[in-house]
Amino acid sequence: MAISWIAAFKKIPWTEVMSAAPTVVQGTKTLWDRVRGRGTETGAPNASEAQTSPDDVTAAGIDRRLRALEAAMAESKSEAQSSAQLVGSLAKQNARLVEAVAILRVRTRLLLGFCLLLTFALLGIVLWVHGR
């Protein structure tokens, strides 16, 4: 099972992931700012923008449809803001993941160097003891 995970992680283009992370974070921030800016705007659609049915053209019917459209628009804004917040959170987590992978890569190289150093030291000790 562990071999399949290792193979999967080896196939991930980590350099592309790390180089794309800042772009993803910036794009998410832009999207979040755009959604937040729209959330502060107020303005209900005009009656001409709302689709009216021909069988209910009274003032009360138009008022009901207008209120339904306003409620739907408020719900859409809420969903868009929560979606943008989720995307922002995911982008931040991705950036932290990329940073952690970079740190692990450095630590792995240091560990490999240390293991090579220990291997040469052990080989030297074995040759020294064998030569005596």
| Separation of alpha carbons 106 and 30, rounded Å | 32
Give the domain ranges of the chain: 20-35+57-105
Is 50 exceeded by the pLDDT of residue 45?
no
Q: Token digits for 100?
A: 């952690």
Residue reference for tokens 């959604």: 35
pTM for the complete prediction? 0.46
Q: What is the model's pLDDT at position 54?
A: 47
- Cα separation of 27 and 42, whole Å? 25
- If you average pLDDT over residues 36-63, what whole number do you get? 60
The predicted pLDDT at position 55 comes to 60
Q: Is residue 78's pLDDT more than 80?
A: yes
Residue 26: is its pLDDT beyond 90? no
